[in-house]
Amino acid sequence: MSSKRIVSLLPASTEIIYALGLEGQLVGRSHECDYPESVKELPACSSTVIEEGVSSSAIDTQVKQTIAEALSVYNVDSVLLKRLNPDLIVTQAQCEVCGVSLSDVEKALGEDQNKDVEVLSLSPNTLEGILADIKEVACKLEVSERGKVLLEELEERRDLIKHKLKFVENKPKVACIEWLDPLMIAGNWTPELVEIAGGVPVLATNGSHSPYIKPEDLCAANPDIIVVAACGFSIERTLQEISLLMQLSGWNEIEAVKNNKVFIADGNHYFNRPGPRIIDTIEILAEIINPKQFIFGYEGQAWVKFDLV
């Protein structure tokens, strides 16, 4: 096993490192790394230029303006990085908006580091990609056997759900909303998670980036179930803006709304975080889509039913 000093600038990679039992090697984190709770004791090596507490629409506008000006949404503290003297920095190249990017890290490192720092950049778009990242991190940190055991546990949980639903024919249409204003449907790995949990994903394609949609697209798809898991938002934060959906033209005519099957989930900790807890996300979806078959105990903590009456 290696004894590398690690800075993780991605919540998902932080969780992978903890799941591999290597948290003792972490010396720094991103400002978004918040699980497990103990990781908050480490110094945060990044920050965001986006204002806190503003609306979904305002966040979207700020992000687009920042990117249009060829600037980054995130700042990396190069002075702190130098002081922490890491051997390995883990970041991502999947989304310039979702987390500190590879280019942000390369800019921060510059030419002032005391030694060559290895940078591992993760960029999963599918469930298979997420599991492959876990294997890669384990290999990089010379704990391949631990990685194998972890993956076997995760795959066993996934396969249990697949097996239990193998002969279930009734598969409701499910729309997973990733952003409220403008409206966005969760893509990347989410459609596959919905399929594993017994649903038929609508308006997004597995492995493709999350698409913006128009309200009429949602109405035309007419999902039987709507799961709102806003990117980076807790349940409480999402509820602050849930009225945006209720104001959409045609909202009350959607099957999910008429049958009171609209759910709010913790997008920040589960749906939008491509680490070990992505299997938790499948279990959450299984509870929502097939409540008679599955009770994992996430209701009330990771998801709630939104009472439309």
**Same domain, yes or no, for 117 and 175?**
no
CA quadruple 197, 194, 227, 170: dihedral positive or negative?
Answer: negative
Structural domain contains residue 141: no
Give the pLDDT of residue 269: 96
Residue 170: is it exposed, middle or buried by C-beta count within 10 angstroms (0-12/13-18/19+)?
Answer: exposed
**Same domain, yes or no, for 180 and 112?**
no
Structural domain contains residue 157: no
Give the pLDDT of residue 101: 61
**Same domain, yes or no, for 114 and 172?**
no
Tokens of 108: 């921060």
Here the CATH number for the domain that contains residue 70 is: 3.40.50.1980
**Same domain, yes or no, for 78 and 192?**
no
**Same domain, yes or no, for 97 and 202?**
no
Structural domain contains residue 225: yes
- For the chain, how many structural domains are there in total? 2
Confirm if 229 and 178 have CB atoms less than 8 A apart: yes
**Same domain, yes or no, for 107 and 194?**
no
**Same domain, yes or no, for 119 and 35?**
yes
Structural domain contains residue 146: no
Give the pLDDT of residue 95: 60
Give the pLDDT of residue 67: 66
**Same domain, yes or no, for 190 and 111?**
no
Which residue's entry shows tokens 């104001």?
A: 247
Structural domain contains residue 197: yes
**Same domain, yes or no, for 234 and 108?**
no
**Same domain, yes or no, for 226 and 116?**
no
- List the chain pLDDT tens, one digit each, 309 residues: 668 999 999 999 999 999 999 999 999 999 999 999 999 999 999 988 777 778 888 877 887 776 666 556 788 898 999 899 999 999 887 665 566 666 667 776 775 554 678 999 998 999 999 999 999 999 999 999 999 999 999 999 999 999 999 989 899 999 999 999 999 999 999 999 999 999 999 999 999 999 999 999 999 999 999 999 999 999 999 999 999 999 999 999 999 999 999 999 999 999 999 999 999 999 999 999 999 999 999 999 999 999 875
**Same domain, yes or no, for 108 and 173?**
no
**Same domain, yes or no, for 213 and 117?**
no
Tokens of 81: 């990085």
Give the pLDDT of residue 50: 76
Domain that holds residue 114: 6-123
Q: What is the 3-state secondary structure (H, E, C) of the chain?
A: CCCCCEEECCHHHHHHHHHCCCHHHEEEECCCCCCCHHHHHCCECEEECCCCCCCHHHHHHHHHHHHHCCCCCEEECHHHHHHHCCCEEEEECCCCCCCCEHHHHHHHHCCCCCCCCEEEEECCCCHHHHHHHHHHHHHHCCCHHHHHHHHHHHHHHHHHHHHHCCCCCCCCEEEEEEECCCCEECCCCHHHHHHHCCCEECCCCCCCCCCECCHHHHHHHCCCEEEECCCCCCHHHHHCCCHHHHCCCCHHHCHHHHCCCEEEECHHHHHCCCCCCHHHHHHHHHHHHCCCCCCCCCECCCEEECCCC
Structural domain contains residue 248: yes
Structural domain contains residue 184: yes
